[in-house]
Amino acid sequence: MLDFNHRPSFTERVSELIDQALCAEHKTQPERDYLGASRLGENCSRKLQYEYTNTPKDEGFSGQTLRIFAAGHVFEDLAIRWLRLAGFELFTEKPNGYQFGFSVADGRIRGHVDGIINGAPEALGLTFPMLWECKSLNAKSWKDTVKRGVAKSKPVYAAQMATYQAYMEGSVPGISKSPALFTAINKDTAELHFELVAFDASLAQKVSDRAVTILKAADSGELLPRHTADPEHFECRFCAYRNRCWEVPA
């Protein structure tokens, strides 16, 4: 039941001002004109096609979601500092200040990596160069990743790393020969998880082929199939394109 007598608290008023400012700022950012390699492990090809063609979402990102994104960047900055303090030779930018990354298919498929490690304490027995990928997760998600490993728990991240290792080989020779270092930070406890992920060539080829399929479908105007026939599938229920995809009345 709606409470028409509810008066926003001071916290709610300030939070609303912040969220309005974040949403306004987000709307000024240019839309992507490429297929991001970090997304190619997504289950639904139709969702990726919507993303690539900048199809309007049912609703834009909320202020809270944008705050969550921003917090993730802060955790990544912390991880960079901690690893460097521990003796890792971690590079996150080129001399010109740009991120390391790649661009293929006339710029229609691109990716930007979190970092490249070219040295670490000898006792760890690592080989270089190696890809570095960092994610911040809530406690439940972090524990599942620790228990099952990134490939099973977070296949989207595994596909992301495989794609980066494959396409970065041309500019960083040897990066696909060394395992990637996956770093996960528990946002609730600051616990750390480190996992060495060997290059999966078959996975890289699979997601690369999928990217080509999405580009071809976008060019031809063909709408790719959904990954499920159930509109109540949990991934569909939380999808930003659910109403559009299933023609659910707004």
Dump pLDDT digits (tens) for 101-124: 999 999 999 999 999 999 999 999
Q: What is the pLDDT of residue 94?
A: 86
CB 19 within 8 A of CB 63: yes
| CATH class, range 33-246 | alpha beta
Question: How do residues 129-151 score in pLDDT, each as one tens digit?
Answer: 999 999 999 999 999 999 999 99
Question: How do residues 56-98 score in pLDDT, each as one tens digit?
Answer: 999 888 999 999 999 999 999 999 999 999 999 999 998 888 8
pTM (predicted TM-score): 0.91
Residue whose entry in the numeric block shows the structure tokens 């990743």:
145
Question: Please, which residues have CB within 8 angstroms of residue 146's CB and are 6 or more apart in sequence?
Answer: 184, 193
Please give the single-letter amino acid code of residue 86: A
φ, ψ of residue 232 to 5 degrees: the values are -95, 5
User: Of 63, 78, 110, which is closest to residue 191 (Cα–Cα)?
Assistant: 78
Question: How do residues 155-187 score in pLDDT, each as one tens digit?
Answer: 999 999 999 999 999 999 999 999 999 999 999
Percentage with pLDDT > 70 across the chain: 97
Q: What is the DSSP letter of 115?
A: E
Q: What is the pLDDT of residue 183?
A: 98
The domains of the chain are located at: 33-246
Q: What is the pLDDT of residue 4?
A: 60
Q: How far is CA 84 from the centre of its chain?
A: 23
- Residue 132, token pair as written in the block: 């570095």
Percentage with pLDDT > 90 across the chain: 88
- Residue 115, token pair as written in the block: 């970092």
User: Of 99, 85, 96, which is closest to residue 133 (Cα–Cα)?
Assistant: 99
Distance CA 184, CA 167 (A): 23
Q: Is the pLDDT of residue 1 over 60?
A: no
Distance CA 232, CA 184 (A): 30
